[in-house]
Structure 1
């Protein structure tokens, strides 16, 4: 089973473009830490990003996209000696209108596009904790993958023109941008990758993860998974925990809950049926596990999703 495709297909996120900031040369903009993940698209020649907690500046340029999965505070400038222009709080309410901030000098050829994204129940998603503090995807010299570049160019074009429905279009494009970013980052990881990605590349453990994803409803036992990948129980358990970062049964539970959030979107599907599909002997056992992992009952989760969709 293609586990990465399965995981990316099930990714639940909200993305949005919050602002376009047009700039006059010798500028410096400070961005406060955000509870959301943040990204910037750079529409200027050359500059620098200083990230809180990092010693070295990141050199950036025209067309680059920079992601901050943990929303760390950072400063962007075209000249390290430039005085502070202003400070931006990036915490953003979903649905808040997209804004354009013209430059004091009236220039539009240099701009910073700012956006954010929010994962639903990130603790259930096995990839997110592996992401670094900063992901820099250069746009110059044709290094950017064509599919990624196409999304970037669409966002840049849409952000500059006041077309009807612009906010909705930018939100969908931002979500596509994030998914494409994850794909690019995954492809960039080499054989020295650690954690969950390393587990997928390990023959026996990757096989076991695939079995869990393919059949979350099965009453898996550690010895069954070990036997399926031709390892002893103790060797399998130790190797799985070392690579994945948690024991096999804990991973199974989290993946079941991730699947449950997807199934609960189908209002017509009874909770009892969802419990059965995910291998729980009773609806009560499923409700208890869901509440423990998601901090909501299945009914509360459904109501919250309905309210969010209506809003």
Structure 2
């Protein structure tokens, strides 16, 4: 099972919002926090990202052509030609007819920088632990030969935005969606095996990864610590310790979490009856499922479904 894809899909609450930002020095753009995760791709030129808020541990980051930045919690920040440039209030975003991306132009008459800026709408109220364990800010600088898929996606985006053609309206949103997976894959690949911890290690761990794949492949199965340990080649106690250390919670706690996450997604995205949702998430009766769901979400499954449809 592709656990990374499933973890992100479980948090998605909408399509990404994207804006093409063109700044000529001196320029500065203050970006407020967003309900999700923020991202920037430097299409050409250079600039700085200056974090805002209570984050003294985050330093200004210089960005070069092809660089990609991912902000896990959609933290507010400034983009500018220099860290000292005061941020401006830009013109309203403009959307040309048929374009999936808005545009903002600001600054003076100096060197130009062009970026693709935006955010992925993710439910941060119940983040998957894989996402929660990511750094607050991921900076993937351009490096020759590193992350060729990510570099190719950035180049394709740049080409479509610079020279839109027939099909661009469909291609650009798909590339932006794919970009999120390329960013996180590149970051995971960058973690040295010798020092990787948490989910960065769990996804490739010979004992834990098969158990995670089994849970994601069939959350309705009657999994036990013993049956999951049997897939790992470890004793029950050794497996439970290793799983808890890497994943951040015991096997049965994660199983319940994933069952409830799967149920919430089915309630949001399908019209499946509650009996079917219960069966697909390992509950023998609608009553048992409803009780577990309310304990986890604070609302009955039917109320949750109505609330998400009304939002």
Q: How far apart, in 2, do the equivalents of 1:17 and 1:5 lie?
A: 19
Q: CA deviation at 1:249?
A: 0.9
| 1:287 to partner: Cα distance | 1.7
Q: Please, which moves more after superposition, 224-233 or 204-213? A: 224-233
The 1:111/1:268 distance shift into structure 2, 3 A limit, reads closer
1:197 is matched with 200
Aligned to 2:184: 182
- TM superposition score normalised by structure 2: 0.79
1:102 aligned counterpart, secondary structure:
strand
Q: 2:251 corresponds to which residue?
A: 248
Distance 1:58 1:236, change over 3 A: same
Superposition map of 1:36-115 within 5 A: 36-52=36-52, 53-54=56-57, 56-86=59-89, 98-105=101-108, 109-115=112-118
Q: Which residue of 1 aligns with 2:32?
A: 32
Large movers: runs of 4+ above 6 Å: 87-90, 161-168
Contact 1:21–1:113 (CA under 8 A) maintained in structure 2: yes
| SS of residue paired to 1:280 | coil
Aligned pair in 2 of structure 1 residues 157, 17: CA closer, same or farther (>3 Å)? farther
Tell me the C-alpha RMSD between the 2 structures: 3.6
C-alpha contact 1:137 1:144 (8 A) present in aligned 2: no
In structure 2, the gaps of 5 or more residues are 94-99
Alignment of 1:95-244 (within 5 A): 98-105=101-108, 109-120=112-123, 123=126, 125-139=128-142, 142-143=144-145, 145-159=147-161, 170-191=172-193, 192-244=195-247
CA drift of 1:132 comes to 0.7
Distance 1:214 1:109, change over 3 A: same
Q: 1:108 and 1:301 mapped to 2: Cα distance?
A: 51
- Per the TM alignment, residue 282 of structure 1 is displaced from its structure 2 partner at its CA by 1.0
Equivalent residue runs for 1:259-270 within 5 Å: 259-264=262-267, 267=270, 269-270=272-273
Provide closer, same or farther for how the CA distance between residues 227 and 48 of structure 1 changes in structure 2, counting only shifts above 3 A. Answer: same
Deviates more, 1:246-255 or 1:56-65: 56-65
